[in-house]
Amino acid sequence: MRLRYKPGAKERLMSYPQYVIYNVQERKGKWQELFGNDHEIHVEIGTGKGKFLTEMAKANPHINYIGIEAYDSVIISALDRLIEADLPNLKLLNLNANKLEDYFASGEISRIYLNFSDPWPKNKHAKRRLTYKSFLKMYENVLVPQGEIHFKTDNQALFEFSLVSFSHYGMKLNYISLDLHNSDFEGNIMTEYEEKFSSMGHRIYRCEVQFPK
């Protein structure tokens, strides 16, 4: 993701409290209250410019979505999409997702999406990959029992690493595609990175995995 400083981004984000949520620690255990219903909550970590989650929220009004993105200069584009679409079932959080347990109670999230997560190719940076075992532990702590992670990437090395990480953690592999765009998977919603990399001829990998308990 190209990180270009955007003057005024923070202020603009803060001027839409119906879409961009701050004081997130106060929301812990009360996210459904914020949405005003008891629908499932699905979270995307590293939501980027928000194409995937905006389209998912439009297509699935019975699901509550939360997009988490660390950079204000990036999530500002997701806010623009959300203002345009005016969706009640999508909220954005401008923060680093490495402390999810501070923001969500145990069992509060039903599914986590990881799309085109940063690959951190050097071995010495493996712990930063969002599918490293310490992240899986954190996800398990905030997901419902047998909660799911849906993961897409064009990076073969990250995909291989992640499958091993899921497997070592004892997760169930419910779906794997080594070439999503040439598979029979229906209803795929493309992310910004997916559009970019598939147009360059990259193959897209996808899996759905589930915690055992």
Q: Does residue 115 interact with ligand SAM by CB under 6 A?
A: yes
19: which residues sit within 8 A by CB, 6+ positions away?
A: 79, 82, 83, 90, 91, 92
Cα(67)–Cα(46) distance, integer angstroms? 7
Binds ligand SAM (CB under 6 A): choice among 27, 41, 48, 78: 48
Stretch binding ligand SAM (CB under 6 A), from 82-90, 143-151, 161-169, 190-198: 190-198
Cα 14 to chain center, whole Å? 21
Cα 41 to chain center, whole Å? 12
- Extract the tokens encoding 118: 């940063």
Nearest to 162 by CA among 187, 191, 139, 182: 139
Which residues, numbered 1-40, are part of the site for ligand SAM (CB under 6 A)?
Answer: 1
Stretch binding ligand SAM (CB under 6 A), from 93-101, 103-111, 157-165, 202-210: 93-101
22: which residues sit within 8 A by CB, 6+ positions away?
A: 14, 94
Cα within 13 Å of Cα(143), Cβ side:
24
Q: Are 204 and 181 in contact (CB under 8 A)?
A: yes
Cα within 13 Å of Cα(122), Cβ side:
2
Catalytic residue, chosen from 38, 72, 118, 154, is 118
Beta carbon of residue 213, minimum distance to ligand SAM (angstroms, whole number):
25
Binds ligand SAM (CB under 6 A): choice among 71, 132, 141, 203: 71
Q: Does residue 97 interact with ligand SAM by CB under 6 A?
A: yes
Q: Does residue 46 interact with ligand SAM by CB under 6 A?
A: yes
Catalytic annotation present for 86: no
Measured from the CB atom, the residue of 144 and 189 that comes closer to ligand SAM is 189
Stretch binding ligand SAM (CB under 6 A), from 13-21, 30-38, 55-63, 111-119: 111-119
- Extract the tokens encoding 142: 């905030």
Query: Total residues at the site for ligand SAM (CB under 6 A)?
Result: 21
Q: Does residue 118 interact with ligand SAM by CB under 6 A?
A: yes
Q: Does residue 45 interact with ligand SAM by CB under 6 A?
A: yes
Q: Does residue 67 interact with ligand SAM by CB under 6 A?
A: no
Binding site for ligand SAM (CB under 6 A): 1, 45-48, 68-71, 74, 96-98, 115-118, 191-194
Catalytic residues: 118
